Each structure stands twice: as C-alpha cells, then as structure tokens.
C-alpha cells in the first residue's frame, strides 16, 4: 500500500510540475470531486463535526458546500506543497502577504521568546516557509508520516530556509532548547489529544481536549504566544494574519493558569474558524475524547 501511495504522489507531482495552471486546475477540480464522491468515511466525519459545532446555525446546503471545499482545499494544498519545493524567498514574497506583522516584529525587537501557534487551517505548511521573511531561525514540531519515502519528501520541504523540524514524540526538550537559542517556535495546537497530553477546554460550546504543552512551555520559559493563521481566496495568493499575543498567566494556582492560557488559544482558533469555516481541516475527530459516540 505504501508503494501505491508513493507512485500516486509521483504521478501527481509530475502533473503539478509540468502542467500550466489553466490545464492543471481543471484536473485538480476533477480529482477533488472524485474523492468527494467516493470517500464516504471522511464525509461522515466532516458532517458530524459541522453538525456538532454549528447545529442549525448553518443550513444543510452550507454544510455541504463546506464539505466540498474541504476536499478542494486538501487537493490544492498538496499541489502547492509540491510547488513550494525549492522555492526562493523572492518567489515566496510574491505569493504571501502579512497582516498585523507588527505584532511579531515588536516581539522580535524586544528580544522576547516567541511561540507561534496555528491550526490545521488554510495552507498551514506554507506558514513556516513564509516566516523566513523575518530573518529568524525557525523550529517546528510535526509527526512523521508512516511512509518513509513520503516522510523524507515532507521533511525536506519543511526544512528549507534554516527551519528545524522536531519529531512530535518527546519534543519538549528540543522546544526549550529552540527558545533558549532565540529561534521562533511554531506549533499546531488544534487536534484532539489523549487524557495525559491535554486539558479540557470549551470549543464551539462543547468540551474538547487540547494540548497544553504550549502553555506549559510559555510559562516555564517566559515566552509569549502569538497566534498566526493563513488563508486564501484563489489558491495563488495567501495572507498570514497575526493576532494579539497571549502572555502566560502566572499565579500560585498553576493548573488553573495553564487551563486559562490554553483556553485563550482555543478561543482564537474558534474565532478564526467561525470567520471562514471552509478552510479548517474538518476531517479530524476533534471531539472524540469527550464525545466518542457521535463518530459511531
């Protein structure tokens, strides 16, 4: 099965690299419609998540449109990932703009330790590459892919422009080291976690478990947390928006402090998703830890 995935990727990469956009885009649209039609399993997960998060606030038609867009995002996301292999900083500057960049620039100017958080939202793999514009070394954290060859390709793409990628398992010491070295630390914090790896927060009015490692790290290292999210309207031009920094709370009640700081992160993720829900990765079982029955 791994070889099949690898050959499919190679074929897809060939199409992306060879075809001009006016020929490529109809093919990408055909691919996502085909996957959407046959992939009953993930369509059910997306529907469950949308119903659970929005209830009757969104109509059935709106939810179906979001579901289709999820598949489109995934296919165009992969195509752009391929296009970004070996990309120059000059080419990046043409496709990515920054909003509220003074938030990050001020933190850098003041020599603060900086943890950048985001979600599986928009073209999230592009954010770390785009941040190279700030001339600061970057460390990210990610999970290795099950297919070794594909993981090698992913790792090579992620490590352009002096970007270091730590394996998600046992990454805490590496994250501490990165902050001590003055590197920007980037983390994806929106996925469901196990009982021991996260705390219960409110997310779309429901209980969900979210990693608290960012909150622990920020408190321990006196770092600020800056949310950053990337979005697009045409899959050609992207905007990275920075949001007000989150300063870790410090009182004698450590557990409550960690919970409040983690909840602040969940709040901004929810806010961004509500503004443009079609760009979040609804394929993930976000509420599985507390509401496993809804996915059955």
Cα 184 to Cα 10, 114, 218, 272: the distances in Å are 32, 6, 12, 22
Q: What is the pLDDT of residue 276?
A: 97
Answering whether pTM is above 0.75, one says yes
Arithmetic mean of pLDDT over the chain:
94
Report the pLDDT value the prediction gives residue 124, as an integer from 0 to 100. 95
Same domain, 23 and 149: no
Judgement on whether residues 138 and 161 belong to the same structural domain of the protein: yes
Percent of the chain with pLDDT over 90: 82
Residues 93 and 16 in one domain: no
The pLDDT score that the predictor gives to residue 8 is 86
On whether the CB atoms of residues 230 and 122 are closer than 8 A, the answer is yes
The confidence score (pLDDT) of residue 170 equals: 79
For 168, other C-beta atoms within 10 Å of its C-beta total 13
Query: What's the farthest any 2 CA atoms get from each other in the chain?
Result: 61
Query: Does residue 70 sit in the same domain as residue 166?
Result: no
pLDDT tens sequence across 54-86: 999 999 999 999 999 999 999 999 999 999 988
Q: What confidence score (pLDDT) does residue 1 get?
A: 64
**Would you report the helix, strand and coil content of the chain in percent, each value rounded to 5?**
55, 20, 30
Please report which confidence band the pLDDT of residue 160 belongs to, taking 50, 70 and 90 as the band edges.
confident
Per-residue pLDDT tens for 254-272?
999 999 999 999 999 999 9
In a domain, 295, yes or no: no
Domain boundary among 60, 82, 104: 82
Tens digits of residue pLDDT in 6-45? 888 889 999 999 999 999 999 999 999 999 999 999 999 9
| Domain residue limits at 55 | 2-82
| The pLDDT of residue 149 is above 80 | no
User: Residue 152: pLDDT band by 50, 70, 90 thresholds?
Assistant: confident
pLDDT exceeds 90 at position 151: no
Task: Look at residue 294 and tell me if it is in a domain.
Answer: no
Domain check: are 121 and 253 in the same one? yes
Q: How far is CA 50 from the centre of its chain?
A: 18
Boundary of a domain, candidates 62, 82, 102: 82
How many other CB atoms sit within 10 Å of the CB of residue 94? 11
Is the per-residue pLDDT at 200 higher than 70?
A: yes
Helix (H) / strand (E) element for 85: namely none
Give the chain's end-to-end CA distance (angstroms, integer): 26
Is residue 103 domain-shared with residue 72, that is, in the same domain?
no
Which residue has tokens 């809804």? Answer: 294
Question: How many other β-carbons are positioned within 10 Å of the β-carbon of residue 107?
Answer: 19
Instruction: Tally the C-alpha atoms within 13 A of residue 22's C-alpha that lie toward its C-beta.
Output: 0
152 and 73, same structural domain? no
- Asked if residue 64 and residue 164 are part of one domain, the reply reads no
Q: Judge if 78 and 126 occupy the same domain.
A: no
pLDDT in tens, 128-139: 999 988 989 999
Last residue of a domain, one of 53, 82, 111: 82
Residue 146 — pLDDT band, cuts 50, 70, 90? low
Tell me, yes or no, whether 72 lies in a domain.
yes
Using the predicted structure, report yes or no on whether residue 143 has a pLDDT greater than 80. Answer: no
């Amino acid at each position: 099965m791994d070889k099949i995935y690898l050959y499919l990727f190679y074929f897809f990469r060939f199409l992306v690299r060879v075809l001009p956009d006016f020929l490529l885009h109809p093919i990408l649209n055909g691919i996502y419609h085909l996957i959407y039609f046959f992939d009953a399993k993930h369509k059910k997960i997306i529907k469950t998540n949308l119903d659970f998060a929005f209830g009757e606030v969104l109509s059935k038609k709106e939810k179906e449109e979001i579901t289709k867009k999820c598949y489109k995002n995934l296919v165009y996301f992969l195509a752009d990932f391929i296009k970004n292999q070996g990309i120059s900083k000059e080419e990046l500057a043409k496709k990515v703009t920054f909003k509220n960049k003074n938030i990050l620039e001020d933190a850098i100017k003041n020599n603060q330790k900086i943890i950048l958080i985001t979600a599986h939202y928009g073209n999230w793999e592009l954010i770390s590459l785009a941040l190279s514009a700030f001339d600061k070394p970057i460390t990210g954290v990610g999970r290795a892919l099950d297919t070794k060859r594909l993981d090698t390709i992913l790792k090579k793409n992620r490590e352009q422009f002096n970007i270091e990628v730590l394996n998600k398992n046992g990454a805490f010491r590496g994250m501490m080291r990165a902050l001590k070295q003055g590197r920007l630390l980037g983390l994806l914090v929106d996925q469901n976690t196990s009982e021991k790896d996260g705390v219960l927060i409110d997310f779309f009015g429901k209980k969900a478990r979210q990693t608290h490692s960012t909150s622990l790290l920020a408190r321990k290292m006196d770092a600020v947390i800056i949310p950053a999210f990337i979005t697009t309207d045409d899959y050609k031009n992207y905007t990275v928006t920075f949001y007000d920094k989150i300063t870790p709370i410090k009182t004698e009640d450590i557990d409550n402090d960690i919970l409040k700081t983690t909840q602040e992160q969940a709040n901004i993720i929810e806010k961004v998703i509500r503004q443009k829900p079609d760009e979040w990765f609804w394929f993930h079982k976000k509420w599985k830890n507390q509401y496993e029955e809804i996915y059955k």
